[in-house]
């Protein structure tokens, strides 16, 4: 592909509703062979598996095998963190396969209580130490994308970026609401660059294999895999209620959260914050970022088979509303931002709406209005949606809504 910078890609993307192509959305309640699905049993035995298989083989890619945690190393545990209101743990998960090793660290804050607690888990973009001012959070040595405004040069994280993303993680609000928060630096699982010689992928290579096969995992599936391994750890940690773990992610990490929730049914709920193309937004609308753009700018995110749909979205036998439907009947929250046109807010809303018939099979309430809600007016059912004012970001408003919704549907 010719390289297109994100700025120029955004410039010539379609943002005109009248230029959205006409398209027919596949019916989540009709099998690829045209059989109507009338109940949750048939959904689970026939339709859900074929959809999951399609997304696995043609979009995110298959994980080529199983790998258990080799060892859990509690690097540090403090009974009194965040001014005494929380317990803090930094837990290192180590993986070994084919003579190679990978480890990643989960930073966990839990409210102080005797009970096991529900938890939000999500990745961060620039290291665990960015989400809090807490000076005891260890700085990752993994490769990071340069970001001079955070003092990140030479792909190394330093003390200078401590606390720079506190605005995106309302740790105090989360703890005060009785939830724990676990975060992981995504670069420890797979550095976000078009290079399959690093991160988790090589641990699965056979002989002199250099990269995944065309149906095998890109980076989004690799990051999702990491979340599932974190879940393996939560199952072992008595302070965490593993039946109440909500996976959260923003943007590319929102795509990751959706895929983690779809592919691993142990997650009790999913929050997609501004996930856009390849996440909650319908591909067939070709609004903002498209299948072509995303594979062009980020060739490593999806499996190679997904390239068959570049400028060919009409050939897709699925769309992203069916990714959301794979999460049913578990609660899912899709959120957009008004100025984040690149992520196609309307396409995100429509996905939530068109996933609703699958939730209805379980007697769960999805999105019941066909028009998008007003700005900053969340609709919170088992399927929830909001569009807030502002840009592509995670804000206190977003977290306030997620907490309120999770208190109702998860806690
Ligand atoms: C953009 C990309 C989006 C979204 C975003 C992000 O460059 O085009 O798909 O993932 O990055 O992750 O912030």
Q: In the numeric block, which tokens belong to residue 6?
A: 């994100």
Return the best residue to mutate from 252, 275, 296 for the ligand 1 pocket (most ligand atoms within 8 A of CB): 252
Asked if residues 366 and 355 have their Cβ atoms less than 8 Å apart, the reply is yes
Atom of ligand 1 nearest to the CA of 6: 7
Ligand 1 neighbours, Cβ below 6 Å, are 6, 251-252, 276-277, 289, 294, 297
Q: In what order do the strands lie in the sheet with 100-111?
A: 71-81, 86-97, 100-111, 180-185, 117-124, 240-250, 269-273, 332-337, 383-388, 379-380
Neighbours of 91 (CB within 10 A): 22
* 310 touches 302 (CB < 8 A): no
Go through 122-147 and write b for each residue having 16 or more CB atoms within 10 A of its CB, e for each that does not.
bbbbbbbbbbbebeebebbebbbeee
User: Which tokens sit at 106?
Assistant: 């989960």
- Atom 10 of ligand 1, nearest CA residue: 252
Enter the tokens of residue 128.
Answer: 């665990």
Token duo for residue 49? 């598996």
**Residues in the chain, total:** 411
Tell me the chain's radius of gyration from C-alpha atoms. 20
Per-residue pLDDT tens digits for 154-181 = 999 999 999 999 999 999 999 999 999 9
Lookup: tokens for 318: 């699925």
| Ligand 1 mean position, distance from CA 312 (Å) | 21
Q: Model confidence over 176-231: pLDDT tens digits? A: 999 999 999 999 999 999 999 999 999 999 999 999 999 999 999 999 999 999 99
Rounded Cα–Cα distance for residues 305 and 378 (Å): 36
pLDDT value of residue 321: 99
Beta bridge partners of 121: 182, 247
Give pLDDT, residue 293: 96
- Residue 68 CB neighbour total at 10 angstroms: 9
Q: How many CB atoms lie within 10 A of CB 114?
A: 5
Nearest CA to ligand 1 atom 13: 251
Atom of ligand 1 nearest to the CA of 277: 9
How many angstroms does the Cα of residue 232 sit away from the middle of ligand 1?
28
Categorize the per-residue pLDDT at 3 as very low, low, confident or very high, splitting at 50, 70 and 90.
low
Per-residue pLDDT of 247-266, as tens digits, reads: 999 999 999 999 999 999 99
At 41, phi and psi to the nearest 5? -65, -45
- State how far the alpha carbon of 400 is from the alpha carbons of 176, 287, 288, 404, in Å: 12, 29, 27, 6
Rounded Cα distance between 193 and 212, Å, is 15
- Using alpha carbons, list the distances in angstroms from residue 160 to 82, 119, 144, 153, 351: 20, 28, 14, 11, 39
SS3 385: strand
Instruction: Please provide the average confidence, as pLDDT, over all residues in the chain.
Output: 97
**What's the gap in Å between 360 CA and the centre of ligand 1?**
32
Cα–ligand 1 centroid distance for 408 (angstroms): 30
Report CA(11)–ligand 1 centroid distance (Å).
Answer: 15
**Dist. CA 409–CA 179, nearest whole Å:** 13
Cis amide prior to 261 (ω within 30 degrees): no
Sorted by sequence, the CB contacts under 8 Å of residue 167 that are 6+ apart come out as 393, 394, 395, 396
The pTM for the full model equals 0.97
Longest CA–CA span in the chain (Å) reads 59
Could you report the predicted ipTM of this complex, rounded to two decimals?
A: 0.94
Q: How far apart are CA 130 and CA 124, in angstroms?
A: 8
For the stretch 279-302, pLDDT in tens is 999 999 999 999 999 999 999 999
For ligand 1, pick from 9, 251, 294, 306 the residue to mutate: most ligand atoms within 8 Å of CB: 251
pLDDT digits (tens, 9 = 90+) for 336-381: 999 999 999 999 999 999 999 999 999 999 999 999 999 999 999 9
Question: Ligand 1 pocket: which of 165, 168, 301, 342 to mutate (most atoms <8 Å of CB)?
Answer: 342
Catalytic residues, which ones? 251, 392
Q: Which atom of ligand 1 lies closest to the CA of 392?
A: 13
């Amino acid at each position: 592909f010719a390289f297109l910078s994100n700025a120029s890609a955004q410039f010539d993307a379609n943002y005109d509703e009248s230029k959205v192509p006409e398209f027919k959305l596949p019916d989540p309640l009709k099998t690829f062979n045209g059989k109507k699905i009338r109940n949750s049993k048939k959904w689970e035995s026939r339709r859900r598996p074929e959809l999951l298989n399609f997304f696995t083989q043609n979009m995110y890619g298959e994980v080529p095998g199983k790998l258990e945690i080799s060892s859990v190393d509690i690097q540090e545990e403090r009974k009194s963190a965040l001014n005494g209101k929380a317990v803090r743990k930094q837990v290192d998960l180590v993986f070994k396969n084919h003579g190679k090793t990978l480890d990643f660290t989960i930073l966990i804050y839990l409210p102080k209580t005797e009970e096991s607690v529900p938890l939000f888990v999500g990745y961060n973009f620039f290291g665990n130490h960015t989400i809090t001012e807490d000076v005891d959070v260890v700085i990752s040595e993994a490769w990071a994308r340069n970001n001079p405004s955070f003092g990140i040069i030479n792909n190394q994280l330093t003390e200078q970026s401590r606390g720079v993303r506190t605005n995106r993680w309302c740790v105090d609000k989360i703890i005060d609401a009785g939830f724990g928060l676990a975060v992981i630096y995504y670069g420890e699982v797979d550095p976000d660059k078009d290079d399959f010689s690093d991160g988790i992928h090589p641990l699965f290579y056979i002989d002199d294999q250099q990269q995944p096969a065309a149906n095998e995992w890109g980076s989004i599936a690799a990051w999702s895999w990491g979340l599932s391994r974190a879940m393996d750890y939560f199952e072992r940690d008595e302070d965490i209620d593993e039946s109440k773990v909500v996976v959260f992610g923003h943007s590319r990490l929102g795509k990751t959260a959706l895929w983690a929730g779809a592919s691993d049914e142990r997650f009790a709920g999913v929050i997609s914050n501004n996930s856009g193309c390849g996440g909650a937004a319908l591909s067939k609308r070709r609004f903002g970022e498209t299948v072509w753009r995303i594979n062009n700018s980020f060739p490593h995110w999806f499996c190679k088979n997904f390239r068959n749909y570049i400028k060919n979205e009409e050939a897709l036998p699925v769309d992203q509303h069916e990714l959301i439907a794979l999460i049913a009947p578990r609660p899912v929250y899709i959120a957009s931002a008004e100025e984040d046109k690149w992520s196609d807010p309307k396409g995100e809303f429509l996905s939530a709406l068109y996933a609703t018939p699958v939730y209805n099979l379980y007697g769960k309430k999805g999105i019941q209005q066909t028009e998008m809600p007003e700005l900053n007016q969340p609709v919170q059912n088992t399927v929830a949606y909001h569009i807030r004012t502002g840009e592509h970001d995670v804000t206190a408003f977003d977290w306030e809504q997620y907490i309120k919704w999770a208190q109702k549907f998860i806690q």
